[in-house]
Amino acid sequence: MNRLFDKKESWTNKERETRQDESLTGMVKLGYKKSARLKAIMDENKINPKNIKTREDLEKLPVTSREKLVEMQLSNAPYASLENPSVHIDRIFTSPGPVYEPHLSENDNLWARAFFAAGIGPADVALNAFSYHLVAAGLTFHNGLRRVGATVVPSGTSSSQIQVQLIKDLQVTAYVGTPSFLMAIITKAKEMGFDFKKDFRLKKACFAAEPLFPEMRRSFENEYGIDTYQMYGATEVGDVAYECSQKNGWHICEETIVEIVDPATGKNVAPGELGEIVATRLNEIFFLLRFGTGDLSRIITDKCPCGRTSYRLAGISGRIGEAVKVRGLFIAPSQLKMIQAKFNNLPLQANVSRVGNNDVLKVKVEKTSPEIGTPAWEENFRNIFKEICTVKVDQVEYVDKGKIKPEEKLIIDQRQW
């Protein structure tokens, strides 16, 4: 078992739920008194704040999407009356929309758990390549790094050449930023005549804001000796989840309640099913309950060997609009890409049709090798498909090599409603 950031990470699930429910109850009561917007939302939906006692009770409230939050703030700037006017706000961030976000607190642990799980601490010099200008990323990541004791180089969005110079001169050991930018920095270092693995001390990287694709992760870790970690959050609610050394799902932050819901109804789906990530940040400053991120994921309830007891998110499977619902469950293109990766980038395509009142899922697969199509191969393929997508394949159709074009959609919905 790894060292933990604090005792909260080892709480039993019952203890965590009890403590978070207590915080939620207090947040709702305070928000109803202080926030004109939250009061209006609850009154419109005939919800008594005394009846929000547990995370399950959150289902009584509507999900607020980012688009809805923008609309609310445009009609009532700057915070849509979701803030606590009695609390002094130390910083105000913005993001495209615009959305104005009051910084939650100078003394919170935003991102500290993620950096601690990645092994970053007082011995590290960390390059923070997120913007410090207006948006929340740079300063909140900066504060998280300082909470774990790291020395921070606030490089922001400086050019890749300047980043190379900073990494070399300041003997940087850790990187915080997007994976694509780190790859650009490595490419620039090669152009400048350096061997990145031999000439630099950078051995850890924490990524956010864009996907870390498996091929890129393998390249960072195998070619350049960089231990990589993924972090997930939203500017409206802060950090949501992070990866530990096991790299098998993202631990949900202790200060955040995460629901996985059906985007059409706002109701929670069963554990393990795919749905939209809806986050509620427990705080006394900004009363944004049930923020809909628009991202699709599922919950992992299995115990993690690292010792952290929180449930985990199974990465991001796509965005609302990209996924297709089959027999009540979502399938996202990114899930199919995961299956392709397990079968040597096998060209495939899912087709959803409807026979009577039943959805039918057929998967086309190119015969790129002799074993594809054998009973043993198909059984293995069906098992892996169900493991990743939850949904069972009704039919596997084999087509000649080259029949599935790279530009075609991975999921074709042929149903007529």
Domain chopping of the chain, boundaries: 7-102+236-319, 112-233, 324-413
pLDDT single digits (tens) 319-370: 887 778 888 677 888 789 989 999 999 999 999 998 877 789 999 999 999 9
Q: Please give the pLDDT value at position 389.
A: 87
* pTM, to two decimals: 0.83
Percent of the chain whose pLDDT exceeds 90: 79
Report yes or no: 237 and 290 within 8 Å, Cβ to Cβ. Answer: no
- The tokens for 277 are 């990530």
The alpha carbon of 339 is separated from its chain's Cα centroid by a whole number of angstroms, namely: 20
Cα within 13 Å of Cα(309), Cβ side:
12
| Confidence (pLDDT) at 106 | 66
pLDDT value, residue 104: 66
Contacts of residues 246-249 at CB distance under 8 Å and 24 or more positions apart, as own/partner, are 246/304, 246/305, 246/306, 248/300, 248/304, 248/312, 249/300, 249/304, 249/312, 249/313, 249/314, 249/315
pLDDT at 334: 79
CATH number of 324-413: 3.30.300.30
Report the pLDDT value the prediction gives residue 335, as an integer from 0 to 100.
Answer: 86
Question: What is the residue type of 414?
Answer: Q
Q: Mention the CATH class of domain 112-233.
A: alpha beta
Average pLDDT, rounded, for the chain: 93
Q: What is the dihedral of CA 77, 80, 86, 90, to 10 degrees?
A: -60
Q: In the CATH scheme, what architecture does the domain 7-102+236-319 have?
A: 3-Layer(aba) Sandwich (3.40)
- pLDDT digits over 58-108, tens only? 999 999 998 899 889 989 999 999 999 999 888 898 876 778 889 866 677
Low-confidence ranges of the chain (pLDDT < 70): 1-2, 96, 104-106, 328, 417
324-413 matches 112-233 in CATH topology: no
- Whole-number pLDDT of residue 303: 95
pLDDT of residue 1: 52
